[in-house]
Structure 1
């Protein structure tokens, strides 16, 4: 089944060119099937790129998904046209009285900034607290995962001296759980963060189940007992060249970045990188959408508590 997105959203034509089944709002309005309602709070600078990456993964299931895009505020963006934001992105005040099947909160390039110095921290906290009772399952990505751990468990922000950047091999735990159903014992996933996610600390200080981790990078995938909160500390949605573009950006900003590990063939940045995480990313989002959202969400969302 397709995802349902606005007819003229840029992602629509991109996904169609990749033979990914999307459904226009016009066509979907004539069907009597209730789609899953998934909200995306996009905190990334290049919003068109990120929304397309996420929709690509959400489209790879038998479920019809109705996507709505959310912004944290109406500030202008240096990397996304204002016309696009005004047309496709809503404000929290407009949707906060509604219930949602799923919610995705993206990462943000705020790895070295204390939470209290993030200008939208108060609004972000309000949205995360709201999600407790108004969303069946929320997916927190990268920075959002670290921020949610602070809000839900009062885990202080821990920042690494060096950025984790590259493709890391993670070990899968609790194979019997639906969230990691079909996962290999070890899988590759992109990381791009300063945040520290210590496995032992998270197991000790929270009630989360750790489903995947890596010795150096720590926790990659974890979830609350009821899977209403799912944490991904990496970026399975990334395109093959996303880490490359981030590396070039960091070079231009004189941050002296290390070469992303396990990314370029022969560690040669002049060779095109290969994506070796797509199958994992698709399976992870498919499992989340099916087992954490579709299988447990009420047909009448007003019954959600």
Structure 2
């Protein structure tokens, strides 16, 4: 998929090195099509890494996609420069009069706090409420999924005995659902979180259904029955080395983090991990854009 992003966004060079089709604005305006407009609320601390991870998988179909990044005004990022945020990200006040075909809300390292303790919780609730009327389909990732399930459906989270950390096998439970169309019956996906969602409430909610789960990591994919909200509790978008970087970062901080499960060959952190979930991530985002965004959105928003 040709993706249209700001010309000087640092992720652009990474994507071009990986042969991802990044389209310049001048060329994009010459195409006689209506592109999909995708808004990304990036709550991750290392925003440039997350930008590259997501854009890598939004470039896999022949549809033109315009990417906009959204930032919070009630929270100050400590790991991303003010210049980067001011240059490439927009405040909610700049977009709340517009409509978008799709939206992605990422995870955030605040899961050990109650939702109400998060300093930007009220602003996030406003954005999620706005998206119900102004976005065709929203994809929520990890803590973003937990936040939306709690705010929209009253499904809470609880702390796990130990961190869910590694690459786990998942079973597709609803193979006829479009989000998992083309998936293998069993597939791998990374997780990195200290909390989990209330499974019984999710399973019994009349407006939701579970699409994939793991015996070890629990529910992975779920969706509202109208397709407007997609939830992924893990991180298919992670690159091959992301869990290794998290592991080494935690160890350097003195956190007694266990080795990621099923990740390093022979459980040896000196060996390079294998990238075993990339194709399913590409398929998942392609399915979302095609079936939940492109085919569900009007040609022109009124």
Normalised-by-shorter TM-score class: over 0.9
**1:48 alignment counterpart:** 48
The answer as to whether partners of 1:111 and 1:195 remain within 8 angstroms in 2 is: yes
Could you tell me how far 1:201 is from its partner in structure 2? 3.0
- What's the counterpart of residue 218 of structure 1? 218
Distance 1:252 1:181 in 2: 41
The alignment covers a number of residue pairs equal to 302
User: What CA distance in whole angstroms lies between the structure 2 residues aligned with 1:255 and 1:228?
Assistant: 38
How far the C-alpha of 1:254 sits from its partner, in A, is 1.9
In structure 2, C-alpha distance between the alignment counterparts of 1:205 and 1:228, rounded to whole Å: 16
Q: Which residue number in structure 2 is paired with residue 271 of structure 1?
A: 271
How far apart are residue 78 of structure 1 and its match? 2.8
CA distance in 2 between partners of 1:239 and 1:49 (Å): 9
Q: What's the counterpart of residue 69 of structure 1? A: 69
Structure 2: how far apart are the matches of 1:257 and 1:212? 27
Q: How does 1:38-117 map to 2 (within 5 A)?
A: 38-73=38-73, 75-117=75-117
Q: Deviations over 1:142-192 (max 9, x none)?
A: 001001111011122212131101001000012112111100000000001
Separation in 1, partners of 2:88, 2:26? 16
Q: Within the alignment, does 1:13 sit opposite 2:24 as a pair?
A: no
> What's the CA shift string for 1:93-112, capped at 9, x where partnerless?
11011111000000001121
TM-score (norm 2): 0.97
- Show the 5 A alignment for 1:237-252: 237-252=237-252
Q: TM-score under structure 1 normalisation?
A: 0.96
1:74 shift after superposition: 6.8
How far does residue 76 in structure 1 lie from its aligned partner after superposition? Answer: 4.2
- Name the counterpart of 1:159: 159
Name structure 2 gaps, 5 residues minimum. none
Partner of 1:33: 33
Partners in 1 of 2:224 and 2:205 — Cα distance? 13
How far, CA to CA, are the matches of 2:49 and 2:80 in structure 1? 9
Question: In 1, Cα distance between the equivalents of 2:51 and 2:132?
Answer: 23
- 2:284 matches 1:284: yes
- 1:301 matched residue in structure 2: 301
How far apart are residue 288 of structure 1 and its match? 0.4
Tell me the alpha carbon deviations over residues 229-285 of structure 1, each in whole angstroms, 9 at most, x when there is no partner: 000111111111111111112112222011100000000111111110000100000
Say whether the 8 Å CA contact 2:168–2:216 is kept in structure 1: no
CA-based RMSD: 1.2
State whether residues 197 and 217 of structure 1, in contact with CA within 8 Å, keep that contact through their aligned partners in structure 2.
no
1:173 maps onto 2:195 in alignment: no
What is the Cα deviation at residue 216 of structure 1? 2.5
Question: 2:263 matched to 1:230?
Answer: no
Q: Contact (CA 8 Å) 1:42, 1:69: kept in 2 or not?
A: yes
